[in-house]
Amino acid sequence: MLPRRQEYGMKRSGGARSGSVINFRSAMKLSSGRRSSAVLPSLLTFLVIVASGGLLLMIEKGMLNGMETPSPRGNGRQLDLHRGQAGDILQEIRNRTIKTMCSQKNMPHSVWSLSPLQRKTLLQHVLVNDEYRFLYCYVPKVACSNWKRVLKVLSGALENVDVNIKMDHRSNLVFLSSLKPEEIRYRLKHYFKFMFVREPMERLLSAYRNKFGEIESYQKKYGAEIIKRYRKGRAKDAAITGDDVTFAEFVRYLLDEDVERMNEHWMPIYNLCQPCAVSYDFIGSYEHLESDAEFVLQRVGAPPHVHFPERQTWYKPVTTETIHYYLCGLPQKLLRELLPKYILDFSLFTYPLPNTTTAHCRH
């Protein structure tokens, strides 16, 4: 699945110019269409490497993780925009990767060149704050409830971010989709635009464990449907509760779904936020949530008492062991089809593909 060492050097020198367009197009088709079984693992690897100009190697080697991000200085919020070397390098890699991949001819270059469905999805995921002049594209399972809390505090709808209430995901929030085209155009041009991303498989697992493990409405709506479709002999069973969907069944379901029509909790981040059509000023990581969130708050000029909420006490992290357990438990065939479906999230946001070689999975 993953490249052997010497392949890096070889393919890196091919560069983003020659040959990558064709591969890129076919990968695009694969990742947005229903049939993705024919894709070659080497193509995926190639794509990821081309996208990041070899800098992924640094991430893989843990060089970026090794660099300490200093904690913000002082307790007030001076305009201290220094976020540490690691964060800056990652931003630069992301910038360069997105620039390279988005400059391909077949990629959208503005919100208005998206299809109506793509545009609708995007505009419904962008939250507006006119006072501090920013746009935030929210991605479910990437701390979006906490960001919504922050937005509500900034607009005065909530007293402080730690108020113990269940988050209402609609009320007191302004979505870009509720504005007129000229209002949308103005804000896209002049406001600070940001979003947060997360390792794609971690996000997927988080959605799977939360929705199918805990939320009855999802078990009824999606769980029952998945079991009817994919569990032998259950197609006509009326008594299905949908509360025991296996990860393999969930993945089979994902493979048959069109990425543009998926539920937002498992729709690829690419399709939610369209990073080629919108030029985001900042793409933060769930992996550096505290420092990246603090950076954004400084950047938009939020008052010092507005801080990003602590992780909830019920927060269940998706650990490396969890990922290993679920991914290695999948049949290789499903895994080979699943990664292409999320390939743009891996490559645009510079996450290395998970190591799912049999050697690795045996541990």
Ligand X SMILES: *[C@@H]1O[C@H](CO)[C@@H](O)[C@H](O)[C@H]1NC(C)=O
For binding to ligand X (CB under 6 A), which residues are involved? 2, 88, 91-92, 95, 279, 281, 355, 357, 359-360
- Residue 227 vs 328, nearer CB to ligand X: 328
- Residue 141 vs 193, nearer CB to ligand X: 193
CB of 215 to ligand X, least distance (A): 34
CB of 194 to ligand X, least distance (A): 10
- Residue 47 vs 240, nearer CB to ligand X: 47
- Residue 22 vs 359, nearer CB to ligand X: 359
DSSP string of 106-151?
TS--SGGGS-HHHHHHHHHTEEEETTTTEEEE--TTSSHHHHHHHH
CB of 110 to ligand X, least distance (A): 15
CB of 235 to ligand X, least distance (A): 39
What is the C-alpha separation between 226 and 246, in angstroms, rounded?
10
Beta-bridged to residue 175, according to DSSP, are 127
CB of 31 to ligand X, least distance (A): 21
SS3 242: coil
Q: Return all residues near 283 (Cβ < 8 A) that are at least 6 apart.
A: 91, 94, 98, 194, 195, 196, 197, 275, 349
- Residue 54 vs 309, nearer CB to ligand X: 54
